[in-house]
Amino acid sequence: MQPKRIAILGSILVGIPLILSVLWAPQRSVGIPYPANNGYEDFLRAVPLVSKSIPELHSTNVTEWQSFITSNRVAMTHVRAGLGKSCLSSNRYDFKTTDLISMIGAFKYIGHTFRAEAIVALHEDRTNDAVAATMEGMRFANESSRGGVIIEASLAMAVEKIVLERFTPTIADLDQGNTAFALSNLLKLDESAPAIEGFFEREEQVRHQFADRWQYLLYRVGVGRKTIRDNEDRFRKAFQQSVVKRKKVVIRLAKRMHELTHGKPAASWSDVVPEFVPAPLIDPSTERPVRFTP
């Protein structure tokens, strides 16, 4: 038999089992078992109740922000109920596109509501409440992505950015109690935040579970895989940058604690470790400590 025919026959013999394994493979379960009382379901209950009548983002009109908070009061009751429970994404990736868009938009507006609460509290000299609202917003970003896939992780990054935007400039004026509270919360969040590899693993599981079997077969043999990998590479970079930004907020809080405690700014990790931070925070892109800028 000619070598060319042997190669063709070999490809057929290898390809047929691959096709059969993909087309008739059992559906995979996605994620891990849900909590008995899943806080993520409370987040979803808030979605249709969220008001999108948000003031211009840089508005200084406190009355407008108060009105926005009031319009989302019921939705935020559900969100805060969810934050009091264990949370895990419901993995409803068979959503209609319109449902998914609604969820994404609503979660961002929830982030804006936490931000609005901080704005109003600062205006009314309720710094404790402003810090508490910010930390709740950060927890919401964290918990709303737990057990999810790339789209939920990307959404969590957007919510974090929204929540921290107003808080970060106030760190230099925080008292010791509020600084310690914020630092403790962000350190816990950094330690418990979902790892990036989990998002990639569930992305693959979901792609298999909900994609058309022929589409999945094409992905497995390489058609379209480059596009997916390019998207995942972009996500990895954005995720790592978001993590570093959060860690830099922790550094600013640690430096503030050092200044309030010792009367002078901290210049390096050795000034705040282990008194205020257990160990230097690691940059996931370099696997080295995040730069501690004086």
Domain boundaries, the chain: 36-289
Give the model confidence (pLDDT) of 62-118 as tens digits. Answer: 999 999 999 999 999 999 999 999 999 876 555 555 577 788 899 999 999 999 999
Buried b (16+ CB within 10 A) or exposed e, 232-254: beebbeebeebbbebbbbbbbbb
Give the model confidence (pLDDT) of 12-34 as tens digits. Answer: 444 445 444 444 444 444 445 66
Contact 200, 153 (CB under 8 A): no
Percent of the chain with pLDDT over 90: 63
Contact 259, 265 (CB under 8 A): yes
